[in-house]
Amino acid sequence: MTVAEFRRRLTAASLPEQTRMLGKLMREARDTDVWKFTTPEEVWRKLPEVSRHLGRRRAFWGFLFDLWQREGLVGK
């Protein structure tokens, strides 16, 4: 899948497919590359639904967003 196709599917697919794709991105891509496709606020809003797709990276993302929330960077 090309980057353009991934971007299109991430925004145009059904909500369950968008959630799955976002989870796959967060699970497989470098954390800095995730932000090329989405924003921290968007991920923060969708984190409860996306978390089941994160596999071994769930703890990392949980730690990161807990820290960002304490610092006031997300969830304002």
End-to-end CA distance of the chain: 35
Other Cβ atoms less than 10 A from the Cβ of 23: the count is 22
Residue 10, in any domain of the structure: yes
pLDDT for residue 1 = 84
In the prediction, which pLDDT does 47 show?
Answer: 94
Residue 7's domain spans which residues?
3-70
- Domain assignment present for 76: no
For residue 75, tell me if it sits in a domain: no
pTM, whole model, 2 decimals? 0.89
Question: What's the number of domains the chain is made of?
Answer: 1
Q: What is the pLDDT of residue 12?
A: 94
What is the DSSP-derived secondary structure letter of residue 35?
Answer: T
> pLDDT by residue (tens digit) across 53-66?
999 999 999 999 99
Q: Is the per-residue pLDDT at 75 higher than 90? A: no
Hey, what long-range contacts does 68-74 have (CB within 8 A, 24 or more apart)? Answer: 68/40, 68/44, 69/44, 73/40, 74/40, 74/41, 74/44
Mean pLDDT throughout 28-43? Answer: 95
**25 domain residue, yes or no:** yes
